[in-house]
Structure 1
Amino acid sequence: MLKITLKPKLFSFYLVPVLFTFFVTGLQAQTIIAIETRSNALVLKSEANKDLGTIYFGKKLTDKTEYEQVPGTYKQTEDYTRVLNAAYTASGSRNLVEPAISVTHADGNNSLDLKYLSHQRTQVNENIALWSIVLQDPVYDFQVTLYYKVFYKEDVIEQWASIKHNEKGNVILHKYASANLHIKGSGYFLNQYHGDWAKEMQPEESKLTHGIKTLDSKLGTRANLFQPPVFMVSIDKPATENEGQVLFGLLEYSGNFRTDLEVDYQDNLRIISGINNYASPYTLKPNEAFVTPVFLTTLSAEGKGAASRNLHNWARKYKLLDGEGNRLTLLNNWEATYFDFNEQKLADLLKDTKKLGVDLFLLDDGWFANKYPRNGDVAGLGDWEENKEKLPNGISSLVKEAKNNQVKFGIWIEPEMVNPKSQLYEQHPDWIIKQPKRAEHYFRNQLVLDLTNPKVQDFVYGVVDGLFTKNPELAYIKWDCNAVIYNAHSATLKNQSHFYIEYVRGLYKVLERIRAKYPKVPMMLCSGGGGRVDYAALQYFTEFWPSDNTDPLERIFMQWEYSYFYPAIASSNHVTDWGKQPIKFRTDVAMMGKLGFDIVVSHLNEKDLQYCKDAIKNYDALKSIIWQGDQYRLANPRETGIASMLYLNEGKSEGVIFNYLANNRYGAGSSAPILLKGLDPVKKYRIREINLYPETKSTIPADQVYSGDFLMKVGFNPELNLTRTSVILKIEELK
C-alpha cells in the first residue's frame, strides 16, 4: 500500500519532499531490512519474536538474499540476552550492556522492551531515500521510530530517533540516543580528538579494549572546546589514508554530546551516540515527540581519504549553507587595532582592503556600548548600540565608506553572551544563566544569556535583525561564542532538567528565524576558535573559525585534521602576524580554505604587499577547485615533516598542490618524490609553481610533461627545503 507520512521535527530541520513510500507491516515471521548505499549496507533483521537487531554492517553484497546467511558464519560465545545486537538497545528488561534508551514509565516501571512493528522506505529523489522503522513496547503504549536517511552516491547515512508515548501520565527519558551501531571485527582502533583554546583538533589513536570508552561534553555551549563530536573507528587494523576499513562518525548537535564505544564480551563493537543525558532527564508528555539530533556515518573500505571525500561531497551538496556557492575574502581589523580604534583608523583600513584586493572589510570586537564602553573584554557585552566616542556617525557611515572603496562591510557580534558590567545585566538579571544561591563564575569575564527564555531569543534575533534593518548593505556577520555554561539554571524554565536541551533548541530557533529573513548573508561560526563546529550549526553558517591560533605552522596540523570531516570551503583561514614565518608561508597556508587577512597592510613592505596581491589573484583563479574539488592528502606532516595536499577538479584536468615544510631541523626537505592521487593515468599533465615571491625564480621546470600514471606511481618532488618552505603547484592537463 502507499502511505504519505510526515515526521515530527525537533532537532532535525529537513524539508523532505516525500515522493512515494513503501510501507511494510510486521506480519511476517522474520523481516530483513537492507539499508544500502552505493558501496555499503546496514542490514537489520526482525526475528520471530520481533526483536530488531543488526546482522550486517559493511561492504554491500551483490545478492541481497545472502545477508540473512551472515549471522551463521560467526561462532561466538552465546548471546545470553538475545538483544546484544539490538538496533536500539532498551534498558530494564533483558539487556545487560549500555542502552540507547532508558525510561521510567508513568506507573513508575523502569523497564522497556522494543519490538518491531513496521517499516517503510520513502524515495525522496534519485539519490536520497528515507527509511523509518517503528518499534513498540508490547505492554506500554510507548513507541520509538528509527530514521535512516541514505545518501546513496556519497555512502553517507544520517540516523535519528523519534520517541513518543500515549501513557496515562508523563514518562521520564533518562537516555535517548540518536544511533546504536553494532560492528563485527577482529579489532577496533579509535581516532579521537581533544584540545583547548588555541590547541584544537589534536588527534589520538588507540586500540579499543573491552569495556566502554566515552567521548563527551558537559559544557552546555561552546561544547567542543575540549572534545569535538567527531571520531573515526578503523576495523580490524588501523586504516591509512588510502587503505583499510574505517568508519567516520559525528553528531550533528551544538550542545552536550555523548558517544559510548563498547567492546562487548563477544568482541563486537557497539557505538551509541546522542545528546549527553548528563543532568538532563527529560519529562515526555503524552503524544509529545522527542526527536533526537542526527548522527552521521560514512564507511570506507579504501581508507580515510575516500571517507573524507564522501563526507565533503555530501556536506557541500546537502548540509552546508550555500555549500556549492561563493565565499568572500576579507581583511579583519582585530590584530591591527584590537579594541583601540576610531572612524579614521577604520577608514584607513578600508582603503587598505581595496589596496590588498580582497572583497570585504570585517570590523571585529569593540564597536559597541556607551555606559560601559567596550574597550576590553571586561565590559559592554550585551549592549549592542554603537559606541558614540569611537563611531560618532555609526555603523552606517562605515558601510557607506566601504561602498565608496568598492568593498563590502561585515561586523562581529557575540549575541548569546553578557558582561556583568553592562546595562543588559543590570536591566534583565532574569535573562542570565546563573544559580540564584551560588556565586557567579566567569569565563572570559562573561556569562551566558538564557536562550531557553523566548524573550532572550527575541533579543538575540533582534541584535542581528537590528543591524541589517539599519544597514541593509551589511554583507557579513562574524558570530562569536566565547563562554561555557557555569551554574546552569534558568530563572523562567519550569523543569531545570530540560535546561541543556532547551538552550540548544532556543539557539536553533533564533538561527532559523535569522535564516528565514536573511537566507544568504554569509556568517562565520566562531566560538573562541573551534568550540562550536558541527553540521547542525553549519546549516546556518557559511564557514567556521578553526582556531584563534593562526600560527601557520600550527594551522597546517589543525587544518589537516579538520579536513577529514569538513570541506575546505567551510574553513576560514586568516593570514596574521602569529608565528615567525614569512608572509609567503603564512598566505600559502591560509589558501587551503576560505582565505582572509588579519594584518596591518600599511606595515607590509613593497614586496610583501605585491606578493599578497598576486597571491589573491591566484587564489581567485583557483578557489573553485579548492572549495569544490576532491581533496587528497599526499604527505602527512606528523609522519614525514612535510605536508602536501592536492585539490583536483571533477574532470581531473586541473588542480593545485599545497606543499609545506613542517620541520625546520638541519637538512629537512623533500628528499623523495610525493605520490599524487586521483589523476587520470592516461592523461598528460604539466606542473608549474605559482605564488612565487617577487624577484624569485622557481627551481621546477614548467615545460616538463608527465603522465598521470607516472605521477601516481613515481611521484613529483616539490623541492622543499629550508630556503623553500612553502611551494604551491598548479597541475594542468596538457590538451
Structure 2
Amino acid sequence: MTKKLVSILLFLVAIAHATVRSETIHIATNETEIVLQTAQNGRLYQLYLGPRLSAAADYNHLLPKLKSKSDGQAWEAYPVSGTETYFEPAFGIRHNDGNQATVLTYVSHTVKQVSPDVTETVISLKDVVYPVQVKLYYRTFAKDNIIESWSEISHNEKKPVNINRYASSMLYWKRNRYFLTEFSGDWAKEVNMSTVPLNFGKKVVDSKLGARANMLVSPFFTVGLGETPREHDGEVLMGTLGWTGNFRFTFEVDNENNLRVVSGINPDASDYTLDPGKVFTTPAFIFTYSNKGTGKGSRDLHRWARNYQLKDGKGDRLTLLNNWEATYFDFNEQKLNGLFAEAKFLGVDMFLLDDGWFANKYPRQSDTQGLGDWQPTTSKLPNGIPALVKGATDAGVKFGIWIEPEMVNPKSELFEKHPDWVILLPNREHYYFRNQLVLDLSNPAVQDHVFNVVDHLMTENPTLAYMKWDCNSPITNIYSPYLKDRQGNLYVDYVRGLYKVLDRIKAKYPNLPMMLCSGGGGRTDYEGLRYFTEFWCSDNTDPIERLYIQWGYSQFFPAKSMAAHVTSWNHDAGIKFKVDVAMQCKLGFDINVKGLREEEQTFCQSAVATYNKLKNTIFNGEQYRLVSPYEGNHTATMYVSESGKQAVLYTYDIHPRYSEVVLPVKCQGLNPTASYRVKEVNLMPGKNPDEAVNGKVYSGDYLMKVGLDLFTSTKLHSRVLEIEVAE
C-alpha cells in the first residue's frame, strides 16, 4: 500500500469520524439493560450494564461518561488487538499483508422481535482500511432475564486470514470489589465450588482438553459484584458458554478497578484460518444479572433452559434401571432378560444397557479393545439388539443403549481399516487416555460414520427408546490428517463436526431422548444440551458427594437435565438416603436389585411411585437452595410447583456433630397468605412419619419466616416432605 493511498484513506477516515452520528442502542430484558453508544471516532462503547431503569430519560445522564474516558481505557464493546487497546482484546487478526491491527467502526444495527418475549439486536461493525466485518448479536429473553451474546466474523481479503482472538462477549463492570466463584475438579469430583477475590490483573478459567473439555473445570462462573456471591441477596453476574469444546473466561481488573469479562472459545493452539467470504460464528455466551443473589439467577437460567434451550425442555423424563454395577462387562442375553424383569419390578420406565455389548474380532470384554466396532458381540448376544428390544418390551419396559461413537480403541477393526480417521500425531510416540483415541470429526467421512452408528441402531430397532452418548477421552496426539496445513482449525472444527452429526440425528429422530455423558461431567454446556435431554453429572454416585455435585450443577442447570442414579457406592449410607438424594434430579437406578434386602426392594418400588407423583414439581417447578452443604453438616433444597400449590422439600443430615445447635429450615417461594399441609413421604416400610410436623397445617408466612425443625443429630439421615395447599 503506497504512502499516498494511506494518506487518502486516513483523510477519509477522519471525515467519516467528523460526520458520524451518535447512535445509542438499548438491549434489555424486563429486569436488566445494556446500553451501547457510538463515539465521535465511530467506535462502539458500553455505557451501562445493570438493573433496568424505570424512567427512560434517566439514561441521558449516562451519555457524558463516554466523553470523559480516554480512548485507551474506554469500554469498547468489541476491542481489537494491535491498536491502543491496553487490556485483553476480544478480537485479533493477521491480515494478508501481515498487519495485525484492526479498528472496528459502527455501520448499522437492526432490532427484530423473534417472539413476544425474545428480541434480537444485530450490530454491524467494519474496518475502514481492510475488508473485515464483525456482527455483534444480542438476544434477550424478557421474562426469563437472560441475554445471549455472540459474534460473526467475515472478510473479503484476497486470501485467507488468520484470526487469533474471537470472543463471544465482552462485558464491563465498575464496583469496589469483585469475587469469582469457579467450578473445578476432576473425574468423580466435579464442580467443586470455590470463591476468590479478583484484584488487579487477569484471572483465566479455561480448558484445553478438546472433546472432554469440562473434565477439570466447568464452562460457567459466578461473579459477585461488590460482595462475595450469596444465595438470597446481593449483585451477581452468572455466565456460561454454549460450546462443547475448549473455552476461556478472562476476568481482568484494570488500573481504575474496572472489571472486564471476556468469554468465548479458547484460542490456545487455535489460530483459525478463515477463507474469504466465509463466516466464523462464535458460540453464545449466556448470562443473567441478579441483584437478589444466585438463587434468583439460577431460577432464571432454569426457566430459560426449559423454555428455550434444553431438548424437550418441557417434556417428561424416563426413570430407568442401568445394568453397569450389576454386571459390568459380564452379561449375556439370558442375564439381561432377568434384569428386564427387575426393571419392571421396580416400576421404572426403561432398562438401559451400558458398555460391553459390541465388537467381534476384538470383543468388548474391557475398555482396552473393541471401541469403534458397533456390531453386537455374537457370543454374548447371538440374536442381536432386536431380541433385547423385544425382550424388554415383553417384560413391560422400554429399552435404551450406551454408545461412545466419537472414540476408537487402537485394538479394533475400525482403527485397522481407517487409521486416517483418527486424531493422531504422524511422527511422535502416541499417548492413550483410557486406552482410546478420538475420531477426527472435522472429516465429513467420520461424521457420516458417527451418524451411521445411531442411524443403524434406530433403523434396525425403531422402538429403541433412549441413548446414553459417552465421551471418555480428551483429544490427545493433536493432529488431523484431514485438515493438513490448517491444524489451528482442529479444536473448533471438531466441535462443529460433532454438531453436524447431532443436527442430523435430531432432524431424523427428533423425539429420541439422549443422555450427554463424558466419563461423568466432562461435557456440561447448553449448546450440547440442545441435542440431549439430560447429562450425567458424575461417575461418582456416593450420595454424600452427589449432594455437593448436584448443588454445584444446580447453579446453572434445572433438575430435569441432571441424571442421578441410586448405586452401591458408600456402604455407610442406607438405601433411603441414596434414593432421597437421587430423587432431587432425574431418577435412575444402577444397582443389583436382587442383592437388596426385601424391605429395601419394597422401599425402592414405593419410591418410584412417589417420585412419579412429585416429579412434575421437581422437573418444572422453581428450585430454592435453602441450606448449603458447604456451610455445615446439613443441607436442604426445595422445589415449588408452577401453580404454587405443591412443594417438595428435601433435608439431609450428613455428618452432624455432637450436641451441635441446628436451626429450623425456612422455606421459600410459597404464598404467605395460603395454608399448607405438610406430609412426610418416601418412608421405609414400617417407619412412621415425624408426628411433630406430619399432617400439620401452617401458613406460607410461618413456613418462610419461622420454618420447621427438620435437621437431626443422626448421621446420613434424610427426609422428603410434600407441602400442599390445604383445601
Q: TM-score range by the shorter chain?
A: over 0.9
Query: Which amino acid letter does the alignment assign opposite residue 22 of structure 2?
Result: Q
Does the aligned pair in 1 maintain the 2:403–2:467 contact within 8 Å?
yes
1:652-697 deviations in Å (ceiling 9; x for gaps): 11110011112244346x7321111111110011111000111111
Determine the structure 2 residue equivalent to 1:344: 334
Determine the structure 2 residue equivalent to 1:658: 650
CA distance in 2, matches of 1:116, 1:508: 32
Name the stretch that deviates more: 83-92 or 327-336. 83-92
Indicate yes or no: 2:640 matched with 1:648: yes
1:219-245 deviations in Å (ceiling 9; x for gaps): 111000001110000101113111000
CA distance in 1, matches of 2:177, 2:684: 49
CA distance in 2, matches of 1:410, 1:73: 59
Taking every aligned residue pair, what percent have the same amino acid on both sides?
50
Give the SS at the match of 2:80: coil
What is the CA-CA distance between 1:205 and the residue it aligns to?
0.1
What is the CA-CA distance between 1:321 and the residue it aligns to?
0.2
Determine the structure 1 residue equivalent to 2:296: 306
What is the CA-CA distance between 1:286 and the residue it aligns to?
1.7
Does the aligned pair in 1 maintain the 2:47–2:65 contact within 8 Å?
no
Query: Which amino acid letter does the alignment assign opposite residue 167 of structure 1?
Result: E
Indicate yes or no: 2:264 matched with 1:280: no
Determine the structure 1 residue equivalent to 2:719: 727
CA distance in 1, matches of 2:66, 2:128: 30
Out of 285, 289, 303, which is 1:295 matched to? 285
CA distance in 2, matches of 1:682, 1:400: 53
Out of 127, 140, 162, which is 1:137 matched to? 127
What is the CA-CA distance between 1:119 and the residue it aligns to?
0.9
Give the SS at the match of 1:124: strand
Out of 392, 413, 436, which is 1:446 matched to? 436
Q: Residues 678-693 of structure 1 correspond to what in structure 2 (within 5 A)?
A: 678-693=669-684
Determine the structure 1 residue equivalent to 2:621: 629
Indicate yes or no: 2:61 matched with 1:69: yes
1:526-546 deviations in Å (ceiling 9; x for gaps): 000000110010000000000
**Runs of 4+ that moved beyond 4 A:** 71-75
Determine the structure 2 residue equivalent to 1:601: 593
Q: Residues 56-205 of structure 1 correspond to what in structure 2 (within 5 A)?
A: 56-70=48-62, 72=64, 79-82=69-72, 84-205=74-195
CA distance in 2, matches of 1:273, 1:528: 25
Give the SS at the match of 1:54: strand
Name the stretch that deviates more: 62-71 or 308-317. 62-71
Indicate yes or no: 2:699 matched with 1:707: yes
Q: Residues 437-476 of structure 1 correspond to what in structure 2 (within 5 A)?
A: 437-476=427-466
CA distance in 2, matches of 1:703, 1:617: 20
CA distance in 2, matches of 1:220, 1:125: 35
1:168-192 deviations in Å (ceiling 9; x for gaps): 2222101111001111111111000
Query: Which amino acid letter does the alignment assign opposite residue 436 of structure 1?
Result: P
Determine the structure 1 residue equivalent to 2:4: none
CA distance in 2, matches of 1:343, 1:500: 40
CA distance in 1, matches of 2:606, 2:404: 34
CA distance in 2, matches of 1:265, 1:723: 50
Determine the structure 1 residue equivalent to 2:3: none
Structure 1 pair 569–27 and aligned structure 2 pair: CA distance change class (3 A): farther
Determine the structure 1 residue equivalent to 2:558: 567
What is the CA-CA distance between 1:67 and the residue it aligns to?
2.0
Indicate yes or no: 2:498 matched with 1:516: no
Does the aligned pair in 2 maintain the 1:720–1:727 contact within 8 Å?
no
Name the stretch that deviates more: 462-471 or 61-70. 61-70
Does the aligned pair in 2 maintain the 1:84–1:97 contact within 8 Å?
no
What is the CA-CA distance between 1:68 and the residue it aligns to?
3.4
Indicate yes or no: 2:196 matched with 1:206: yes
Indicate yes or no: 2:32 matched with 1:48: no
CA distance in 1, matches of 2:680, 2:173: 46
What is the CA-CA distance between 1:346 and the residue it aligns to?
0.6
Give the SS at the match of 1:118: strand
Q: Residues 345-364 of structure 1 correspond to what in structure 2 (within 5 A)?
A: 345-364=335-354
CA distance in 2, matches of 1:627, 1:92: 49
Does the aligned pair in 2 maintain the 1:720–1:726 contact within 8 Å?
no
1:41-91 deviations in Å (ceiling 9; x for gaps): 11111112212111111011112232232365799xx74434530000111
Query: Which amino acid letter does the alignment assign opposite residue 720 of structure 2?
Result: I
CA distance in 1, matches of 2:123, 2:373: 49
What is the CA-CA distance between 1:443 and the residue it aligns to?
0.5
Structure 1 pair 27–157 and aligned structure 2 pair: CA distance change class (3 A): farther
CA distance in 1, matches of 2:418, 2:215: 28
Which 5+ residue runs of structure 2 have no aligned equivalent?
Answer: 1-17
Give the SS at the match of 1:729: strand
CA distance in 2, matches of 1:214, 1:394: 49
Does the aligned pair in 2 maintain the 1:433–1:447 contact within 8 Å?
yes
Give the SS at the match of 2:210: coil
Does the aligned pair in 2 maintain the 1:667–1:722 contact within 8 Å?
no
Out of 542, 563, 579, which is 1:551 matched to? 542
The number of equivalent residue pairs is: 708
CA distance in 2, matches of 1:374, 1:714: 57
Query: Which amino acid letter does the alignment assign opposite residue 518 of structure 2?
Result: S
Determine the structure 2 residue equivalent to 1:262: 252
Query: Which amino acid letter does the alignment assign opposite residue 609 of structure 2?
Result: K
What is the CA-CA distance between 1:448 and the residue it aligns to?
0.6
Determine the structure 2 residue equivalent to 1:4: none
Out of 569, 577, 600, which is 1:578 matched to? 569
Determine the structure 2 residue equivalent to 1:587: 579
Does the aligned pair in 1 maintain the 2:634–2:711 contact within 8 Å?
no
CA distance in 1, matches of 2:670, 2:453: 48
Determine the structure 1 residue equivalent to 2:475: 485
Query: Which amino acid letter does the alignment assign opposite residue 150 of structure 2?
Result: W
Indicate yes or no: 2:410 matched with 1:398: no
Does the aligned pair in 1 maintain the 2:20–2:42 contact within 8 Å?
no
CA distance in 2, matches of 1:181, 1:194: 23
CA distance in 2, matches of 1:108, 1:239: 45
Out of 15, 22, 31, which is 1:30 matched to? 22
What is the CA-CA distance between 1:95 and the residue it aligns to?
1.0
Does the aligned pair in 1 maintain the 2:607–2:682 contact within 8 Å?
yes
Query: Which amino acid letter does the alignment assign opposite residue 395 of structure 1?
Result: I
Give the SS at the match of 2:643: coil
1:297-348 deviations in Å (ceiling 9; x for gaps): 1000000000000000000010000010011000000000000011111111
Give the SS at the match of 2:396: coil
Determine the structure 1 residue equivalent to 2:11: none
Give the SS at the match of 2:157: coil
Query: Which amino acid letter does the alignment assign opposite residue 717 of structure 2?
Result: T
CA distance in 1, matches of 2:132, 2:421: 36
Query: Which amino acid letter does the alignment assign opposite residue 197 of structure 2?
Result: K
Does the aligned pair in 2 maintain the 1:32–1:68 contact within 8 Å?
no
CA distance in 2, matches of 1:401, 1:635: 45
Indicate yes or no: 2:364 matched with 1:374: yes
Which 5+ residue runs of structure 1 have no aligned equivalent?
Answer: 1-25
Does the aligned pair in 1 maintain the 2:670–2:700 contact within 8 Å?
yes
